[in-house]
Structure 1
Amino acid sequence: MLDPVLARIDADMPHAIQRLLALLRIPSISTDRVHAPDCEVAAEWLVQDLRDMGFSADKHPTTGRSMVVGQGGQGDRHLLFYGHYDVQPVDPLNLWHCPPFVPQIEETPHGQVIRGRGASDDKGQLMTFVEACRAWIAVHGKLPARVTMFFEGEEESGSPSLIPFMEANRDLLKADLALICDTDLFDRDTPAITTMLRGLLGEEIVITGPRMDLHSGMYGGAATNPIRVLVRILSRLHDDSGRVTVPGFYDGVEELTPELRAQWEALGFDEAQFLADVGLSLSAGEKGRGVLESVWARPTCEFNGITGGYGGDGFKTVLPSKASAKVSFRLVGRQDPLAIREAFREMVRAMVPADCQVEFKSHGASFASVMDTSDPAFEKARTALSDEWPRPAAFTGSGGSIPVAGHFKTILDMDAMLIGFAMDDDLIHSPNEKYDVRSYHKGIRSWARILAALA
């Protein structure tokens, strides 16, 4: 049943590219109210495209941008596919090779690419799954499984309507497994299934000492300096081995299984080149941990911004009244961001002298997502991907966070399988975003294989 579907995909690629170009021409920038009508146009385009394929599909209004939900196929296995049709703003325009919403096919040293805003994030990725379904229906008259499509229009603006919509539409969205296409290949020839996403805790510390800035000649040595207090606090958040010292921080952190460690070692990741690409040569993570393990499977505490005193040109001898730092914690496994927040704040309070006050500002808290790869669907999908690409697929981690995967677990009680075909050089969120035609083509073929495997 699969071979004629793959042949159909190959033959239909010119049309599949034209359909993607049509979607890319819609400037669906969710962060800009001026483009709110364009977001609705994109939602309507997707509804019509799904209906043309035989899906029952509708646009669902929210307090923000509309959701699109389409349903088709039948069978024992029910799959929900998630993608987002909104895109990032395009500034600065002068750096684009072509107008961002006049997409082009360009020749590059690595082959043809589709150039335009949203080509990779996420319209191109979204359409890989749509086109795979289109080919199945064209060849067999039906899908091999029951499929729900779920397209969001606010992912690039923080998804304010997502949780309320999911909570209000559990019966509409509930499935056996969620599929998300918003991630990368490991390298040009190695596909990946992301099974770990780090959670995130954001905290801001504000230390206040004297009620106004002071002359350091008149008060230096006598008055408490909030910068000095802040620096001492920050310096004590790590020990000499790179481990975070917040009490209870590593509760819920698990070691890699031997099987997963072997998969990662087989990827042939070049740690030295990874660091050299950004002008570095030494890994700064926990001692004894490789770069991939540090980025994918270990928690971190990082300082993202420090303010205090005079930062302008020249020199000003001042003791500041306030100093602040923004601290982010990337979390893994079963770490509890709320418990870590309280432990962190208590640790900081204990280091603040009596003459100072500390204020905390929260910048969000989310749990990590760890997928249950004991579900046979994961190994079936990995095998299907390996059949399409030159190198075997691997279960990988991600240093970043994709909140919707966690929402599927907490709201709909289902795991998510994250499979994407983007490349590191796709320039998502930047001028000249692109998506390799090869990624688009093989991505469609990959989803066709996965549908067959999971059905």
Structure 2
Amino acid sequence: MPAPTEQLDAVLAHVDANLDQSLERLFALIRIPSVSTDPAYADDCRRAADWLAGTLAAIGFEASARPTGGHPMVVGHAPAKPGPHVLFYGHYDVQPVDPLPLWNSDPFEPTLVPQDNGDIHIVARGASDDKGQLLTFVEACRAWHAVAGALPVQVSMLFEGEEESGSASLGPFLDEAGAELKADVMLVCDTDMWDDKTPAITTMLRGIVQEEVTVRCASRDLHSGMFGNAARNPLQVLSEAIATLRAPDGSVTLDRFYDGVKPLPADVAERWKRLPFDEEGFLKDIGLSIPAGEAGYSVLEQVWARPSCEINGLWGGYTGDGFKTVIPAEAHAKISFRLVAGQDPEKVRAAFRAHIRAHVPEDCSVDFVVHGGSSATVMPIDSPLLQKALGALSEEWDCEAAVAGTGGSIPIATVFKDRLGMDSLLVGFAKFDNRIHSPNEKYDLSSYHKGIRSWVRILAAFAAAETERA
């Protein structure tokens, strides 16, 4: 049998010749309104899971839609082969479409919209997040199966139906099926390209801690003329406490907050310096000009490699039309921390609560509500599979693929790292203007096409890595 590298050109040609059919399959999946957060769409989520299981079975996978306490999990396994075993993760559920009047077309009827640059936008809910991205990998496997009769490496698939609504069933499912899903690396296609022409692999994800705080002072709302000065105001108490969370230099003041935080590795810092990133333009695009993070760090380092603290909401008292002179009985805030490798979410949570309690007077009380948390994850830059994937992407896109971080958090990567010891390669083909979660979500046809071709090359490169090792 020819080596995968010898079959690569034929597989890529198959992708090109069958793009219209690949697009029709994407349309069929998009037309299933698999909104996970709304019980009214439970049957549609099941239909989407069954559709994917049938699609995998048709290209040589042993596949099934497996029941959970919520929406089904789709699991597929291709026949075992020598070399690395990869697990591809994606999600078939989508966000609600509201507000519907802001859509230019039916959210679940894909529309092709030509662009001035010659590209075409696929407009529909889920076109980018995550059905289009998910199918780039499935279609790459289809092309390998059609041309070679098998995949070049061992591949398993896991498609979730609750990513957009909290992944409540994922933990229990991994308790049952974790050993079956364990592989050498997890592949995730739910991230962005660096720019319109430069692919990227995201190697750093920040973790997160989310807390809701309520400070209570008086037993009821008070007239500010009759009780002002004498009665403690919870809005002032909470505001003063929150104001002490950041120092003038932008650093976070929690006790031992930076324990475990290491400097950015030199090789990563060097790669980031080569990225075509405009710090001034990054802030100018949102109407700002002065970086607000830790002094002494670049904007990229501030949003990718340094931990942060942000106030996400602050409220209390009267906020309606007109004016009401009231001292409220309670005040509320929602605070989040983005974490980097080496930080323990629960230690950060405990330090935050201790910090707030230290600023609340004895005759007042404070309560906390947990809104989730996860650790940061980092893919080693010297990972052989990472290097092979970078080479494959660079070959397909005819430029050096970027090694990127992200300021956001993808809890699924932490879950698989903690439970199964698997690193994640996050390779996405979305663009920054894809309007995910918003009306008129889109996916560029060029991203769909070259995304399929990119995965074809990555799988071949993984197979070549095993040949070289042997």
TM-score (norm 2): 0.95
Which residue of structure 2 lines up, in the alignment, with residue 96 of structure 1? Answer: 103
CA deviations on 1:250-308 (whole Å, 9 max, x unpaired) are 11212111211121121111122221222212211111211111111111111011112
Gaps of 5+ in 1: none
CA distance in structure 1 between the partners assigned to 2:140 and 2:309 by the alignment: 41
Q: SS at the partner of 2:303?
A: helix
Deviation at 1:388, TM superposition (A): 1.0
Q: SS at the partner of 1:101?
A: coil
CA distance in structure 2 between the partners assigned to 1:372 and 1:401 by the alignment: 17
Which residue of structure 2 lines up, in the alignment, with residue 258 of structure 1? Answer: 266
Deviating more after overlay: 144-153 vs 163-172: 163-172
CA distance in structure 2 between the partners assigned to 1:227 and 1:51 by the alignment: 58
How does 1:5-24 map onto structure 2 within 5 Å? 5-24=11-30
Which residue of structure 2 lines up, in the alignment, with residue 219 of structure 1? Answer: 227
Which residue of structure 2 lines up, in the alignment, with residue 44 of structure 1? Answer: 50
Picking from 330, 344, 360, the partner of 2:368 is 360
Deviation at 1:351, TM superposition (A): 1.5
Deviation at 1:53, TM superposition (A): 0.8
Which residue of structure 1 lines up, in the alignment, with residue 206 of structure 2? Answer: 198
Q: Indicate yes or no: 2:252 matched with 1:244.
A: yes
Identical aligned residues as a percent: 57
CA distance in structure 1 between the partners assigned to 2:342 and 2:26 by the alignment: 39
8 Å contact 2:83–2:153 — kept in the other structure? yes
Deviation at 1:384, TM superposition (A): 0.9
Deviation at 1:238, TM superposition (A): 0.9
CA distance in structure 1 between the partners assigned to 2:226 and 2:159 by the alignment: 62
Q: Indicate yes or no: 2:137 matched with 1:132.
A: no
CA distance in structure 2 between the partners assigned to 1:102 and 1:225 by the alignment: 53
Picking from 77, 85, 91, the partner of 1:78 is 85
CA distance in structure 2 between the partners assigned to 1:125 and 1:444 by the alignment: 9
Which residue of structure 1 lines up, in the alignment, with residue 3 of structure 2? Answer: none
CA distance in structure 2 between the partners assigned to 1:85 and 1:412 by the alignment: 22
Amino acid of the residue matched to residue 337 of structure 2?
F
Amino acid of the residue matched to residue 57 of structure 2?
R
CA distance in structure 2 between the partners assigned to 1:171 and 1:326 by the alignment: 37
Q: SS at the partner of 1:169?
A: helix
Picking from 9, 31, 35, the partner of 1:29 is 35
Which residue of structure 1 lines up, in the alignment, with residue 4 of structure 2? Answer: none
CA distance in structure 2 between the partners assigned to 1:221 and 1:2 by the alignment: 77
Amino acid of the residue matched to residue 24 of structure 1?
I
Q: SS at the partner of 1:204?
A: strand
Q: SS at the partner of 2:18?
A: helix
CA distance in structure 1 between the partners assigned to 2:161 and 2:370 by the alignment: 26
CA distance in structure 1 between the partners assigned to 2:72 and 2:290 by the alignment: 46
CA deviations on 1:204-235 (whole Å, 9 max, x unpaired) are 22111111122222222222121221121111
Gaps of 5+ in 2: 1-6, 464-470
Deviation at 1:59, TM superposition (A): 1.1
8 Å contact 2:45–2:71 — kept in the other structure? yes
Amino acid of the residue matched to residue 444 of structure 2?
D
Q: Indicate yes or no: 2:330 matched with 1:306.
A: no
CA distance in structure 1 between the partners assigned to 2:234 and 2:177 by the alignment: 49
TM-score (norm 1): 0.98
CA distance in structure 1 between the partners assigned to 2:423 and 2:404 by the alignment: 15
The two structures, once aligned, show a CA RMSD in angstroms of: 1.2
How does 1:16-415 map onto structure 2 within 5 Å? 16-73=22-79, 74-110=81-117, 111-415=119-423
8 Å contact 2:268–2:381 — kept in the other structure? no
CA distance in structure 2 between the partners assigned to 1:246 and 1:134 by the alignment: 51
Q: SS at the partner of 1:188?
A: coil
Deviation at 1:316, TM superposition (A): 2.2
Deviation at 1:69, TM superposition (A): 0.8
CA distance in structure 1 between the partners assigned to 2:168 and 2:58 by the alignment: 30
CA distance in structure 2 between the partners assigned to 1:92 and 1:216 by the alignment: 40
CA distance in structure 2 between the partners assigned to 1:2 and 1:409 by the alignment: 31
Amino acid of the residue matched to residue 109 of structure 2?
V
CA distance in structure 2 between the partners assigned to 1:171 and 1:202 by the alignment: 30
Q: SS at the partner of 2:157?
A: strand
Deviation at 1:241, TM superposition (A): 0.2
Deviation at 1:47, TM superposition (A): 1.2
Which residue of structure 1 lines up, in the alignment, with residue 466 of structure 2? Answer: none
Amino acid of the residue matched to residue 94 of structure 1?
P
CA deviations on 1:47-106 (whole Å, 9 max, x unpaired) are 111111111111111111111111114222111001111111111111112101111221
CA deviations on 1:172-219 (whole Å, 9 max, x unpaired) are 211111100000001011111111111111112211111112222222
Deviation at 1:373, TM superposition (A): 2.9
